[in-house]
Amino acid sequence: MGADVKGQSARKSDSHQMIPYWLALIAVSILVFFIERVFAHRQGQSWLRRGLLSDLFHLGFNGHVVGVLLYAFAGRYLVEPDFQSVAVDWPMWLQVIAAIISLDFIQWCVHNALHRVPFLWHFHKLHHGVVDGEMDWIVSFRFQWIEVVIYQGMMALPLAWLGFSVEALWIQAIFGTLIGHLNHANLSWTYGPFRYLFNNPAMHIWHHAYDGPTRNFGIVLSIWDWVFGTAILPDQAPSKLGYEGMEELPTEFFAQQFWQLGRWLPQPAVSASGLILILSAYWALR
């Protein structure tokens, strides 16, 4: 009985610790929304567009719920390894910079694989199912939940094991969310000479071009694309977005989240995975 009460108290503490992180993500989203309204590049594009409701669900689900699940799982079930001491004594500013650089390079590698490995591309397709008139800041979280697990499992958890503080990883995540929102926003910014360091809207929209998604894999930093020869930054925006065959994409949020699982699992298993995910979210947030 005592252990159960203690466990419930720990879960409530975990949830409360996440509140400042959630508020920061909401503030970043509101900020970029107004930036996009003031500096809109495609003047005729309305923010009340097709797919807005499902993308708002993606924003809340992928930006908050799945992250909380992974945070809770890591904190309760993963044993700290003996080598968790690399960054533990570093000052916060150095941890943040190191986390941004390290995590972004891993993200660049994973993002590259998502496009080049057919099995992974099936899950990443949803993010590229953007037609003209839909490209805005909210698209940055249009992912299937399984892709978020792949990303976080290969990036955030190893960095946490290496000794980066939770606060440093939160700052990195908030900064990454800001850059990600701006990259997908209806903007034409290049950041001038800083385009060789930071990813930007003018570069990232070419990643979503109909005939050019194997370029510009950077998330926060563009330096990896410049170094490894995958950068492209034409003077004009692409004439068409998306990919061939994207008409097969479902339009509703829950159908999008479990769409590709139907290729390999029978329908009862797909339905069960959805139920398990919902129950896990309840368990993590209660």
pLDDT at 86: 78
pLDDT digits (tens, 9 = 90+) for 169-178: 888 888 999 9
Cβ contact 221:76 at 8 Å: no
Whole-model pTM: value is 0.80
pLDDT at position 263 is 56
Most confident of 47-51, 59-63, 225-229: 225-229
| Exposure b/e, 20-36, CB count within 10 A at least 16 = b | ebeebbeebbeebeebb
> Lowest-confidence range among 148-152, 186-190, 236-240?
148-152
Helix (H, G, I), strand (E, B) or coil at 188: coil
- Rounded CA-CA distance 8/286 in Å is 8
Name beta bridge partners: 89.
Answer: none
Give tens-digit pLDDT for 119-128.
888 888 888 8
Residue 226 — pLDDT band, cuts 50, 70, 90?
very high
Per this entry, what is the length of the chain? Answer: 286
11 pLDDT higher than 50: no
Cα separation of 242 and 273, whole Å? 28
Rounded to whole angstroms, the Cα distance separating 74 from 149 reads 12
The pLDDT of residue 5 is: 43
Closest by alpha carbon to 105, among 212, 224, 278? 224
**pLDDT, averaged across the chain:** 77
Q: How many domains does the chain have?
A: 1
Q: Per mean pLDDT, which range of 119-128, 133-142, 191-200, 258-267 is the poorest? A: 258-267
- The pair of structure tokens assigned to 244 is 């061939």
- Compute the distance between CA of residue 265 and CA of residue 270 in angstroms, rounded to an integer: 6
Domain of residue 261: give its range.
2-285
Residues 68/15, Cβ–Cβ less than 8 Å: yes
Q: Which SS3 state, helix, strand or coil, does residue 155 take? A: coil
Band the pLDDT of 285: cuts 50, 70, 90. very low
Of 3-12, 114-123, 167-176, give the lowest mean pLDDT range.
Answer: 3-12
